[in-house]
Amino acid sequence: MQKPTPEQVEAMMIEKMGALPQSLNSAKAIDPRFLIEQAMSSKFSVQDENNPFDPKTSMLISLAVSITIGSDECAMEQTRMLKKMGVTKEEMAFLVKIIKHAQGSAVMGNAKVAFDTFES
């Protein structure tokens, strides 16, 4: 199977998302092969035919990660795609509740060393 060209990847992304994300536009200016790498990464993960999750669940997971790591551009693009997939306000609110809980739990886990050191 032949890899797509950067131009083909860009056209597919624009068709899917309505525009090329600004980060990829900037990356493309440096080296258009970044577009191919991004597409291959997506094909290997969220778009993999063996992905056990449906597309909406995969995108919700991606959005949760983007929110957690603070990637506003990704969160914006993923939210746009989720709206097209029919995600509801209730689903979005619950996703944020889950993220908030996970982040709070991580803080407690990260604080263990401080608690243990204080008590020793």
The model's pTM = 0.78
Say what percent of the chain tops pLDDT 70.
99
Please report the domains of the chain, with CATH numbers, ordered by start residue.
1-44 (no CATH), 55-120 (1.20.1290.10)
* Tokens representing residue 1 in the block: 């199977």
Taking only the tens place, the pLDDT of each residue in 26-71 is: 999 999 999 989 888 888 888 888 999 999 999 999 999 999 999 9
Q: Identify the burial level of 46 via C-beta atoms within 10 angstroms of its C-beta, where 0-12 means exposed, 13-18 middle and 19 or more buried.
A: middle
pLDDT value of position 1 = 63
pLDDT value of position 88 = 97
* Tokens representing residue 74 in the block: 């990704």
Residue 96 has pLDDT above 90, yes or no: yes
Residue 83 has pLDDT above 80, yes or no: yes
